Structure 1
Amino acid sequence: MGRRYFFLLGASLLIILGPERVLGQTPSPAPAEVDAASFPATTDDLAEPERLPVVEPGKLPERLARPVGAAPKRDDEVERIQAAPGNAPAPAAAPDPAAAAGAGGVVEGGFMQPLDRLPLGKHEVLLSVNVLAPQDMNINKEATVKIVVKNNGSADALGVVVRDDLPTGLEFVSSLPEAQRAASSLLTWSIGILQAGTEKVILVKVKPTQATPMDHAATVTFQAGSKARSRVLQPKLKVEVVQTPSIDKVLKGKAAEFRISVTNTGDGPARDVVVLAKLSAGLSHESGEKNDDNSFDLPIKEIGPGQREELPVMVVDAKQGGHQTCQVKATSPDVVFNKEEAEIEKALEVIEPKLKITLDAPEKRYTDTIASYTITLENPGSAPAKNVRVLATLPVSGQLVTPPPGAKYDPATRRITWTLSQIDPTEKPRTLTFEVKMGGIGFYQVTAEARADNAILAGDKRSTDVQGMADLDLVVRERRRVVDVDGTTTFQVRLRNYGSKEAANVQVRAEVSPNLRIEETAGGPTEPAKPADNNTKAMFPKIDRIQAGKEMTILIKVKVVNHDEKASAGVCRVFVSHDDLTQELEDMAMVKVAEGRRTANAKEPPAAK
């Protein structure tokens, strides 16, 4: 019980008198009140310490090595370093500060500070804050707290804001500079820019309202940044192609040249340039190299601003006629491709003469007949055909009737030759004709060809089927020229094949005048003829064939049946047809009919052999 009493008594004395008096120590004197007149009128009246130097990469801060009073490097010095030989070219001017927002605000481009306030190169901001408060304060008595913010870095601190959140039991009286109060206990000072090597002092008058230990804390926030300047270059490539010869036409089989040049019209270098030339299918490179797309490339390591590179002359051969092209394109990883400048297509018209020859010939002829041939020659190309020679070769069994005008004939080679100096593309087709007499049976082939300079060749050929022909001749003769009434006579019918082919399916029929009667027939077919119409007509059995060069004789015996003053003659008509005839052959013989014993008893002369 006694011990508890003494413990409570000691604690009461400690609270009332304080630890110094209880322990026998001399109490600390009351803090001296700061006269408000001693405060600087503004923060600008505070002396500005020297600015600290720029901290270069990889080195100690210069402020630790440079003599006292030496000025640090500024932005203009950084610019001079960057513009020195070996460094990047001088950058463009910085944006107008008037376009930037105030300190602490977001400006155009997304930066929190205007670009003109940011240093060039690497810099550092070392900002410290120190709160100096009396160790002891008396309750309900004003005291002064000092907040010191110092920039020990090499670059300005931007958007500096100091915040002081007063503890419970501490009342704000005033401050220099004046504070912004967002709440009863939160004090804020927007300092803005704190230059390198300077400090800012804030004096705060407070009054404690509670007798309790207090922690007085202040915080500071700021912004720091750096910038670098780069020169933006724009290299440009322009391709030019000059053709030799200058005209855009070249004869097929001849060479053309393309002179290619590439110019950098920009202000920066173009590196790893590749010039690609692509030829159309009708052109081939003189080297003879072949690839799938007929293209060739040439690398150029670098083309400086304003520099012009002349490439080796590209020689191409015109292999095909018509519209041909050479497409050239220049590319570089440093250049934004511009089709209008960096790509060009050079057109080349390859002209060529052409020959077209057509041979017209009969498809079918007979032996020993004449066939007519016509050669038509024209130039469907785009250039004149020069030194044209036309040749026509005759078959072995054919014979030229007569050499055509302006041509030469060589019997040894059976060849007709025409020579023409030139045939223009727009010229009317020329015609050349000749005649050939056919010989024996067979196919007669005639060939025609035309040749001109530059190895131009055209040809045509035609075959004529020469067939044999059955040339059957019919002759009817009477044995007696005068026959009495009731007398008889014989008409002789001779069939001879003068052709080169047999006469097949020969059909013979006979008709006599009304005053004659057919009594019998002989020769020719093995069977006799069949009479008709009161024996005034007779149809002979069909003769299978009469070979070429052979003949056949048929006899028709007739009798004179009466005498008519108006019909004093007897007539026998014979008609013959065979497979090769479209119309019957016809021949006739006539005898005079007379009345008298002399003529009636006269004997008929022997038949002609």
Structure 2
Amino acid sequence: MVGLIAVAVVSGAAVGLSSPGPGPSQPPANIPTADGPTPLTLTAAQLQPARPEAAVSLDWSGPSAARVNKPAEYTLTVRNTSVQFVQKVVVQVRVPADVKIAQISPAAKVVDGIYLWELGTLEAKDARNLKMTLTPAAGGELGCQAWVTFTGTAGMKVAVQEPKLEATIKAPATVAVGDEFQVSYRVMNIGNCAAESYHVLKQFSAGPFPLDCPGFGKSLGALEMDAKTETLCVKTPGEYTYQVIASADGVDAKATAKVRVIAPKLKVTVAGPAEVLVGRKATYHVTVENTGELPVKDITLARTPPAGWKPLDTRPWRVSSPAEVTICSPSCETSKESSARDVGRDLALMAGMRLRESQPRTGDTISELTPGQSAEMTFDALPTAAGAYTMFVQASGNRNATAAAECSTRVSGIPALRVELVDLVDPVEKGQTTTYEIRVTNTGTMADENVVVTCPLPEQLKFVSATGPVNHAVDDLNNCGVVRFEPVRELAPKTETVFRVTVKAVGTGDVRFKAQVNSKHLTTSVVKEESTRVFGD
């Protein structure tokens, strides 16, 4: 007869389960002992074994008797008898030395004469069969030992509570610059336990949210709320962000609100002549438009004419709007214009349009411009000198609404030369002298350049001397001669220069003295002639 011995060994268990081996039971690793921090108090319902203790059984089956040198097949059944899975299941079998093993299924490792099967994980109630064919070589009792090791698991259920923060902000989407407005925030703990070390960071800014912002620490209980309302006033338009970040026990909540601060906006244009003559009126057209989203009140227009310009007439403002039809007031109409006004009123009313009587405005003030509305006016100015000038205008209203514009105008002048020629002694006796005076005056508004005076002498006159603002020369003295003055480089407006030529009378009769003037801006020469009576033998 052959007897078979089966031994089952449990090698370990998960935290919270007692090991089947000897030794005292150890507490779970995550529950503090009396020597550590204050222990977490758990109720019986919160801390329970999730499953009963793990167990694995070994059962032999096969012939109860075997014959010498005759093979016999035996089966070792490994069964998980618990309701939970077990891991790292290892089965080992020791066979006597005088017993031969012909076949093994599944294959096993042999370590120091011991056959070893690593079965891994066995699910609850699962079983594995290990088959082997044994051939005893001698009679007697055949003793085979089998044992199993495995790792079981155990668990517990703990109700874990946590705080949960929710942040909200209530703020207007758009506000006017300089107006006070309110922003409210609310942080609520919607979790199921208190939020310790609660603090909140908040900021209203046009820039990035700071990483470090002063807050306050306290405990915020479950379903408790922290709320606050602030009154703000912004002086600069732009896009602003109000942010709230609440934190407690590593739990964060964030809320953000965008606030657009708008301001009135004016646009000014001024148009005028690109070029005008000195002493001629220049007319400028100014348009002031409200291009913003808010009405602008008490608009004043400052005009800064160039130095030396004289202000002239200013026409009244005319205010217009796309939604309005502007008509003249009856006080400034003729009978025909009044009739036309009535017809225009009727047509406008039939079209469902809104009418507004326009009154003549004086001064440079506009009471109000609504968004999209504009006003126009014209004024005159008189330039008094040539050059390049800039007309500057600036409109200003409430809420610091300002706008400026400028217009460049070149003021040009025209040179105009007036030439006068007189003889200082007339009549003159033969052999005596007389002097001719040539006076050149620029009566224009711009300087003339390279003014040249030339005097050809008649045969009855002989050159004696000459004076003037520049040097002179006399050509061809043998044939009476020509007096040539060097060019006067520039003759300014409203100035004059005088040339004098003294001659001696050498012949009698009606003598004609000529003076010829040329300049840069004269297209043809100016010729003057003076008659002198010379008498004597």
Taking structure 1 as the reference length, the TM-score comes to 0.44
Q: Which has the larger radius of gyration?
A: 1
Higher strand share: 2
Higher helix share: 1
Indicate the structure whose relative CO is greater, using CA pairs within 8 Å and at least 6 residues apart.
2
Taking structure 2 as the reference length, the TM-score comes to 0.48
